[in-house]
Structures are given as structure tokens and as C-alpha cells.
Structure 1
Amino acid sequence: MAVYGIDLGTTHSCIARIGEVGRPTVLRNMEGTDTTPSVVYFETADNVVVGAPAKDTAVLSPDLVVSLIKRDIGHDVTRELHGRDYSPEEISAFILRKLVSDATATSGEETGDVVITVPAYFGAAERDATRKAGHIAGLNVIDIISEPVAAAITYGVLNPDQDRTILVYDLGGGTFDTTVITLRGGDIGVVCTDGDHELGGADWDSRLVEHLAERFTEEHPDAGDPLEDRHTEQQLRHDAEETKKALSLRRQHVVRVMHGGRVATIELTREKFEEITKDLLDRTIEITGRTLATAAEKGIKDYDDLVLVGGSTKMPAVPDRLSAELALKPKLQDPDLAVAKGAAMYAFEETYRQLLAKGEGDKARELASRAGLSEAEQERMAARQITTVASRAFGVIALDPVTEQEHVVHLVHANDALPHGGSREFGTVDEDQTIVKIIVVEQAGSAESIEVAHNNPIADGELKIPPGKPAGYPISVTFALDTSGLLHVTAVEKETSEELTLDVRVGGMSEDEVQESRTDLAHVRVD
């Protein structure tokens, strides 16, 4: 069975596997392209269409087409379609099913294990929800890894004998991350990361949509706002994306905007496009600056390479601005496919190592031999270590018994090395208190803050306390953040060596709900 790496992107997704010469290979979809638009068209209650056909349908049936669903994953929101509420995990599962189905048709091999990538700045809830989307799709998700790590694996495969310190600037369709990574003797180490999972190429598109609508209204003030018409808006979004791509190749482009029986012919220059989106690029530079400052605090001040990842880095303004700001020559290295290729390599290596750990060395060597890996490459693969860091701070809400004010106590801090664990002892507030509510929160902004409003609640649960206990009765809370960035929280009450433990579930769907969705949606045809 084939082992796949999947780049589940905000605007486009991609799937890859290890080929016969031991190198990652992207598998084309049934439409013959390397990437699949992350767009889902709910044609009927029993049939969905994913990819380019769904994207094209958005102009005709905007209320039945879902895009940018990755921005909602891990959040408690739903989309009602054909009388059923769909969670972001379920909609993402349709995209995953399309990718794997096409890959199986292309390769002729059934799917085994998969690794799915997420933005480095994704928190615990988003990572857990991504894993659950894979389970709903019927996949065995062996790990969730960060996109910059996957890109660094691809970079390391192409440059196996070089020790480097690299800055990965990852500007995708819907998210942005910047990460400092070291490559030492084949090992990959994440030094620090920062980002914004609501900043990406789609925001550049939105600026173009607004600009085109404004220009149309200037020419035809009596025709009404084109953005108030869903069909016109979808056509503008299609035109904006095509304009962005065109202006990456040439200096000007003409767009015809039609609405209310009127037509406006609008000429756009690359300079104008860069002017109306300058603040978006400024935000990425600001985040990159924060990342470099954090790395400097950890002793990293010199860089060998600046690696650009994500399709949006093909906009000329991106490498130009980075060259001017950082005095490094950016390397645009397979920006659309590098993440999926790295995920495929990681999935293959992880499967190989798991076989060795289970004492199935013969199967591991057979797997590597089929991929054409030499003994030296197998040894290097078995020895490779990948270390990463926490993307954000995590904590619990506590009450100060003196001021009676709520505040956040963080047990994991952003850029702590993973896996990471932290424990803290708290006390009950009232005498004879029988219930303690534990609210787990995640850093919301760019900086850690004890203010409750500056953190997002991601899970909660209740811990029972034996009756008759005084105020201040001790409770121990432990956080364990694994290398995938998935958080496990345990609250313990101890009395006469007895432990009462509560595992707080992170994410919008329980495992029972995931299994129910998997069964419920199995009958839905995905094209």
C-alpha cells in the first residue's frame, strides 16, 4: 500500500509519494494538474464535486460552493447545504477523499498511511481538527507536520551534504508563516516560528475585487454595487485571481467588469496592484522581523538561505521586498509542490522507522529497496531527527483569590522545544467546593498575554473534588504538547494515593462524532 504526503492547502491542495528512485513525486489529479483547488461544490445531498470544476461552478451556484474552509478548521462553525450542517472537518474530508482517490487511480496502489501538513502557526485545535478530517475521510493519519518543516525536508533532500541555517518564508493562498530552521548532518531543527493563519494570497485577491468594484462604480454610479450581487462577486473573485497571476508575468492587464447590464473595461498595472496590497506585504515583513528577533535571542543571527514556499511568493513584489529588507537572495524552490513532497518523504521515513521499532526490519528494508534507496541512504533516513517548537502559548484560566480577577497562567510558551510538558499546582477557591471548571486557552495575538481577552478558549472540562475540602485544596494541571503540536491536558486531584484524571478534549468534534461522520458521509460520492 502507498504512503502519501498531503499538503491540504487553503486554496490549493497536493498529494505526493516516494517514487522508484527514492525521490518524492507529485501525483496529478484526474484533471491532469499537480494541484487541486480546495473548493467543494455540493451538487446534491449525495454528490459533491471537488477541485477545478467546483471552482468554476462558484460563479453559477455561489451558495452551494465552499472555499477557504481551512480558515475555519478547528473552530465551531458549520455550513448548511442541502438541509445538513457540515463542519469544517467534514468539508476538508471531501477534499482529502478527492486527492487520495485520484492518487490511487494514478498510482494503482491503495492508500496506506498519510501525513498531512498544516501551517506552522496552527494551534492545537486546528491541528487536531485536521487529523480528524483525515479520519473522516477514511485515512490513517500517522502524523501532522508543519508546512515549513516539510519544505525544509525537500530542501534537505536536494542539498543532502550541506549544513545550513535557512529562513522559510511561506506565503500560501490563505496562510502565512515564517520559520527559522537549521539543517545539521541531515537533522532538521526548528528554531522558532511565527505567522498569521488569516493572511494569504486570497487577501491579495480580495483587494483586487474591491478595487475592480470601486472602479466599476465610478464609471457606472447608477448601476449599483457589484459586490451586492453574489454571482457578480464570484466572477470578480475569479477575475481577480487571474489578474494577480497575469501581473506576476507582465506589467499590465485588462479586466472587463459586467454588472446590471453595464460594462467597465479596467486596465490594471503591476504598480497599482502592489500599491493597493502594500500593507499586506508589510504585515509579512513585520512578522518576519519578529521571527528573526526571536531567533537572535536563541543565538541565530546569520543565514545561508532564504527559501520561498507557497504559490503567492511568485508575486514579484515578494522576492524584491525581501531582498531589499534582508540582504539575502530568495530561492523560489518549487513553491507549489515542495510541501507535499516533503510530507511524502516524512511519511515514508516515519513508516520505515515504525517498522524498525516493531522489529520488522525485513519489511522496512523491503520498503526502502522498492524505493531504490541504498544502504547508506537507509541509515541516514533511520538516523534523521526532526525537532520543532510550539507555535503558540497554552494555559488555563485561574482566579486570583485576593483580587478575584481572572487571568491566564501559561504552562507552554511559544517556541518552547517539542515535545514539551509543564505542570502547575492550583487550589480551589471556596470551602467545600465539589467542582473545578478547567478552561484551556491558546494565545490569540502575536504576543503572550495573561489577559483572558487576549487568549482563545479551546477546550474545557469539569474536575470533581471530594466533599468537605477546605479552600485552597490542591489540584495539579499538566500540559503535554507533542511533536505534532497536539495538546494533551490532565487535571489531577490526589487523596490517599488515589488519582482522579480528566483528559480535556481539544477540537470541535469528539472521536464518536468523527466516527459517526465517517459512517454518515461514506455514501456521498466525491468527484
Structure 2
Amino acid sequence: MIVGIDLGTTNSLIAVWEDGAARLIPNSLGEVLTPSCVSVDEDGSILVGRAARERLQTHPQHSAANFKRLMGSDKTIFLGKRAFRPEELSALVLRSLKEDAEAALGRPVEEAVITVPAYFSDAQRKATRAAGQLAGLKVERLLNEPTAAALAYGIHLREGESKFLVFDLGGGTFDVSVLDLFDGVMEVRASAGDNHLGGEDFVAVLVERFFETSKAPATLRHDAAFMQRLGAQAELAKRALSDSPRAEIVAGDGRQDYRMELDEATLEKACSLLLARLRSPVERALRDASLPLAELDNIVLAGGATRMPIVRRMAARMFGRFPSCEINPDEVVALGAAVQAGLKMRDAALDEVVMTDVAPYSLGVSTTVRISGDHFSHGHFDPIIERNTVVPVSRVKRYFPIRDDQQIIELVVYQGEARMAGDNIKLGQLEVRLPQGAADHGVDVRFTYDVNGLLQVEATVVATKEVHSLVIEGNPGLLSEQEIAQRFVALSELKIHPRDRIENRTLLARAERLYQHLRGMPREQLGREITSFETALESQDQRVIVPAAKSFRDVVDYFDHQSFLLPDA
């Protein structure tokens, strides 16, 4: 069984192609959005999803979110005393989604199409593939998120030629892709983006403004629990402005509540620099695609952050028309991944479509430039494969030594767009020995790059036809196949909180988060209710637990809705 997965910064989803349509699969709580959060519970078990998100506020040292932004790096994230790599935390989210799908479908899930930002680097893509392997999934295809959104809209089914742009602003990344459909071929003409721009950055701006306007002491910045609560309130206020003209951010330190009023005009002014950053990738993608804005047949919105009215207005002004947003932007990428899964399974309800992709970054080598005479300037980046070149692709360039008696040419391979090689990402290096008299003929350097992000470098000494090769499959900081196998065993041995109890654990985590927010008599009352429910759980008797959970949920719902209306104690 092949599923489609949107592994997101803020939320993740899983979908399946079934009975001729893409369908989202709910988690054990009946929700299709699973927060991309992981936490270690008091008993040492791992919580994933909404329970973990609630614990971000009550147990920030034992919980993690936004780790998608660290994919492809060698950073370590500590949950209490336990250390994880970003791939491992992503793998725990993927495993949770896999178990949800298996429970809903009643059969094993062994393979997945996982979406990634179009502007993800090779290292980030390989880290995503490793996360899939660690979750016990075969990942033969990584699908760019904008392409997935296009599939969800059925653009691949349209007759004739169609040119369209996908504007994908998620929780942590921003992607723009220009696509061209003709004769059953969906071709990505160009991609651009920003891997550090998303809904989370708008929340961060609100947090900064809160400290500027609410008179909250700066010392609270060092209180991890307070900062998590404040971030959660800022996120709620940001979302509230999608439906109402005003919102309020309220956060307390246990002694005093601090408040900030918010309206759309204030939000737009505070986030003006972020909105300006959205324009540059759009312009670059259109420029690289050699496509005037007027020739676009459609603009499609994807990603939960495009729900914000300020983003939609900015997009409408930029494009001179209202973009398409008929499909829920939180769900569109996962639905498109399911369509791709259906294509992989060769479902009869889907017509075959050929999809081409592009290299998101330029690939090249470090070179030396002669200024004059014996004066040289070293470390210049010379692209061999330019960004947005359709892949698979093979390109060759000839290079010469700078001295006649030079015996070695060192080829250092980089990825990026900066003029100087050192400002780009180093991928590897290859040393080529030159025999006597070969300097005049030089070395032909061929780059071959495929859809799976595998780069092969071949250097041929022109005089002797001797070939030196380098296959760049990994990047500094990435796990090797042996390390993946070892960590797969380690993750398999982790105690994962049982699916059939996750609803009660999520309810408790939510109550604990509310308890920290409340004061006085309401806090005491909720504390007694928490203790009473924990006692019911300890009985392990479903005849006691089921009615207790229903009653406890009603209490928690009440306090959740009334918490900001309660008088100060």
C-alpha cells in the first residue's frame, strides 16, 4: 500500500488514493491534522501530535516542534536527557501517521510519497528520505509541495496547454513554482523560495511586538514555559484575525497577565518586512521561467499560512487577480501526494502524466580567475548546472591548470548561488592528477544530476582520457546507511505511547496547559478534576474510564472557553 504524506513544519497529514479519489486519513483523535510535535512523557514514553503540542507549554524542555527547519543539519535536540536528530523526530511523526493509516485501512503501509519544499537542498531531501526509512517506510519518491498542490487541483487533467504558478506558504517554508502543462507533460519551469519563511515567522514578529507594547518584563524572554504560552497565544490571535477584525493576546507569568490588542492593520504593519520577502522568490521564479505574469492561466494557493487575509491581499495585489483557494490550503499538498501515490500504483482512474522537475540550486566548482599576469583571484564559484535546469541533466565544462608545471587539479564541488564558492554549500571534492604535458589540454568536468538528488562528478584528463569520478550521495552531517540501520533499531525500541490511550493523554496535557494559565479558585477546581481523572485512569477499568473521560472533557472545554473571562484572583 502506497500513501501520500505531507510532512509539515507545523502540521503533518497522510492521505490515500482509494476508489478513484484522494482521501485524508484521520489520526486516533479523529483529526486529519497531526501537529509535528514530539514530547517525552513522565513515564518515558513518546508522545506525538496534539498531546505533544500541549506539552510544549507545560514541559518545554521535554518537547520539540519546528524541527523540519533543522533537517539536513547535524544539530542535536534534547528532550529531557534524551538526544534526537531532526531526522529521528520527523521519523516519529511519520511512524505515527503510518500507524494511523494502518489502523484506518486495516492493512500494512510499506511505501510512501513524501512531499518536500521545492526549495529544499540536497541535504534536506536526503534527510527527509532517511526519516522515512527510520519510520519503516520505503520512500521511492519525494514530491515537491507545489507540484503536489497542482495535482490536487487536477491541473494535470486539463486539456490543452496551461501555465500556472503555485504560491505555497506553510508553517516554516515558502515555495514558488511555475509549471507548464502540455500534451500530458507537467513541466516545472522554475522554482524559488525561502526555507526560513513561514507562518511561524509571523508568530515570532507578534511575540516581539508583544514585548514592545504590553510592558511585559524582558526577563520573561528567558522563561521557556512563558515563551511557549505566549507563542501559542500569538498563533491563536493570528488565526482569529482570519475570521474577525480584532484579537487579543493574553499571557501571564503566574502573578500578572499582560495583554496586547491586535487588528489586521497592526499585523500588516508589523509583518511588512516578511510580506516584502514573499515578493522576491515570485519574481525570481517568473524571471527564470522567462514567463510574463500576464501569461499565467492560474495562481494556486497552498500552505496553512495563506489563510491569513494579509497574505491573500498581498498575493492578489502582486498578481493582479484573486488566486485559487477552493481546496483547504492545509490539506491540498497531502491530497496531491495521494494522487501521486495513485499514479505510482497505476490506478485505472488516473491518466498517466509525465512530470519533470528542476534542480533547485546551481551546482558547480570553485575556480581561480587570472586578474593580470601572475595575479590571481581564488575561490570563485563557476556553475556547471544552473538552477532551474530540468533534471535529469548532464553538463560538461573544460578547466585548465593555472601553471604549466601543475600536477594536480583539485575540484571542490559546491551548491548555491553566491559569487564566491566559500559562501555556498560544499558538497565534496575530487583530486585529479595530471601527467607530464597534459596541462595544455585541460580536464573535462561533467556533472550528472538525477531526480533523486544524486550528483555524479566525472573528471576526464583530455590528453590521456583517464576518468576520475565522485558520486555525491550524502552531505556533511547526514546519516550514512549504516547509521540509519543502527538508529532504526534504537527508535524501534523506544516506548511509544499506545494509540488507544492517546486521546486520554491528550486531554490530560490540555488540562495541564490550562492549569498553568489559571489562578485562584478556578485553578484549584481544575486541579481537583485532573487528580480525579488520573485516579480513574489508574483503575484500568474502561467502565470507569469512559464516563470519567466524557465528564472531564466537558470540564476542560468549559475552562478552555472561559479562561480569559475569569476575574483575577
Deviation at residue 241 of structure 1 after TM alignment: 0.8
Deviation at residue 395 of structure 1 after TM alignment: 1.3
2:260 aligns with one of 255, 266, 276: 266
- Distance in 1, Cα, partners of 2:318 & 2:187: 25
Superposition map of 1:232-243 within 5 A: 232-243=226-237
- Distance in 2, Cα, partners of 1:427 & 1:305: 47
**Aligned equivalent of 1:487:** 454
Superposition map of 1:179-190 within 5 A: 179-190=177-188
**Aligned equivalent of 1:423:** 396
Deviation at residue 526 of structure 1 after TM alignment: 3.4
- Distance in 2, Cα, partners of 1:40 & 1:279: 31
TM-score where L is the length of structure 1: 0.85
- Distance in 1, Cα, partners of 2:224 & 2:413: 39
Q: Residue 241 of structure 2: SS of its match in structure 1?
A: helix
- Distance in 2, Cα, partners of 1:348 & 1:424: 40
Point out the more displaced range, 68-77 or 464-473.
464-473
The one-character-per-residue Cα deviations of 1:249-298 (angstroms, maximum 9, x if unpaired) are 10111232212622223322222112211221121123223323333x25
Change (3 A) 1:134 1:260: same
**Aligned equivalent of 1:129:** 127
**Aligned equivalent of 1:413:** 386
Change (3 A) 1:420 1:232: same
Superposition map of 1:456-495 within 5 A: 456-457=425-426, 459-463=427-431, 465=433, 474-484=442-452, 486-492=453-459
Q: Residue 397 of structure 1: SS of its match in structure 2?
A: strand
Deviation at residue 433 of structure 1 after TM alignment: 7.5
**Aligned equivalent of 2:238:** 244
Point out the more displaced range, 152-161 or 87-96.
152-161
Change (3 A) 1:292 1:298: closer
Q: Is the 8 A contact 2:181 2:187 kept in 1?
A: yes
TM-score where L is the length of structure 2: 0.79
Deviation at residue 28 of structure 1 after TM alignment: 0.8
2:305 aligns with one of 306, 312, 333: 312
**Aligned equivalent of 2:523:** none
Q: Is the 8 A contact 1:166 1:303 kept in 2?
A: yes
Q: Residue 58 of structure 1: SS of its match in structure 2?
A: helix
1:69 lines up with 2:67 in the alignment: yes
1:103 aligns with one of 89, 98, 101: 101
1:520 lines up with 2:518 in the alignment: no
AA in 2 matched with 1:385: V
Q: Is the 8 A contact 2:293 2:319 kept in 1?
A: no
The one-character-per-residue Cα deviations of 1:148-185 (angstroms, maximum 9, x if unpaired) are 00111111269644643211111100001111112334
2:23 aligns with one of 22, 25, 43: 25
- Distance in 2, Cα, partners of 1:519 & 1:45: 21
The one-character-per-residue Cα deviations of 1:315-335 (angstroms, maximum 9, x if unpaired) are 111222222232122111321
The one-character-per-residue Cα deviations of 1:111-147 (angstroms, maximum 9, x if unpaired) are 1321111111112111121111111211100111110
2:473 aligns with one of 505, 510, 514: 505
1:42 lines up with 2:10 in the alignment: no
Q: Is the 8 A contact 1:493 1:500 kept in 2?
A: yes
1:328 aligns with one of 305, 321, 326: 321
Q: Residue 4 of structure 2: SS of its match in structure 1?
A: strand
- Distance in 2, Cα, partners of 1:190 & 1:466: 40
AA in 1 matched with 2:428: D
Deviation at residue 97 of structure 1 after TM alignment: 0.8
Superposition map of 1:292-303 within 5 A: 292-295=286-289, 297-298=290-291, 301-303=294-296
- Distance in 2, Cα, partners of 1:158 & 1:197: 27
Change (3 A) 1:235 1:43: same
1:117 aligns with one of 115, 118, 124: 115
- Distance in 1, Cα, partners of 2:37 & 2:198: 16
Point out the more displaced range, 240-249 or 319-328.
319-328
- Distance in 2, Cα, partners of 1:270 & 1:397: 48
1:6 lines up with 2:8 in the alignment: no
**Aligned equivalent of 1:151:** 149
Structure 2 gap ranges (5+): 498-569
- Distance in 1, Cα, partners of 2:496 & 2:394: 41
- Distance in 1, Cα, partners of 2:73 & 2:418: 21
**Aligned equivalent of 2:424:** 455
AA in 2 matched with 1:251: P
* RMSD between superposed Cα atoms in Å: 2.7
Larger Rg: 2
- Distance in 1, Cα, partners of 2:36 & 2:99: 15
**Aligned equivalent of 1:389:** 358
Q: Is the 8 A contact 2:39 2:62 kept in 1?
A: yes
Deviation at residue 91 of structure 1 after TM alignment: 1.6
1:198 lines up with 2:189 in the alignment: no
AA in 1 matched with 2:455: H
AA in 2 matched with 1:477: V
1:229 lines up with 2:223 in the alignment: yes
AA in 2 matched with 1:254: E
Q: Is the 8 A contact 1:117 1:343 kept in 2?
A: yes
- Distance in 2, Cα, partners of 1:430 & 1:158: 54
The count of corresponding residues between Structure 1 and Structure 2 is 489
Q: Is the 8 A contact 1:114 1:140 kept in 2?
A: yes
Give the share of equivalent positions with the same residue, in percent.
31
Q: Residue 330 of structure 1: SS of its match in structure 2?
A: coil
- Distance in 2, Cα, partners of 1:325 & 1:82: 46
AA in 2 matched with 1:256: V
Q: Is the 8 A contact 1:163 1:183 kept in 2?
A: yes
- Distance in 1, Cα, partners of 2:399 & 2:39: 49
Change (3 A) 1:157 1:327: closer
- Distance in 2, Cα, partners of 1:266 & 1:183: 48
**Aligned equivalent of 1:290:** 284
- Distance in 2, Cα, partners of 1:162 & 1:53: 48
Change (3 A) 1:162 1:107: farther
Q: Is the 8 A contact 2:166 2:176 kept in 1?
A: yes
Deviation at residue 63 of structure 1 after TM alignment: 1.6
AA in 1 matched with 2:445: V
Deviation at residue 301 of structure 1 after TM alignment: 4.2
- Distance in 2, Cα, partners of 1:277 & 1:69: 23
Point out the more displaced range, 199-208 or 76-85.
76-85
Q: Residue 192 of structure 1: SS of its match in structure 2?
A: strand
AA in 2 matched with 1:265: R
Change (3 A) 1:503 1:294: closer
Change (3 A) 1:125 1:504: same
Q: Residue 344 of structure 1: SS of its match in structure 2?
A: helix
Change (3 A) 1:302 1:42: same
Q: Is the 8 A contact 1:45 1:524 kept in 2?
A: no
Q: Residue 415 of structure 1: SS of its match in structure 2?
A: coil
Deviation at residue 311 of structure 1 after TM alignment: 0.5
Q: Residue 516 of structure 1: SS of its match in structure 2?
A: helix
Structure 1 gap ranges (5+): 353-367
AA in 2 matched with 1:215: T
Deviation at residue 423 of structure 1 after TM alignment: 2.3
AA in 1 matched with 2:135: A
**Aligned equivalent of 2:522:** none
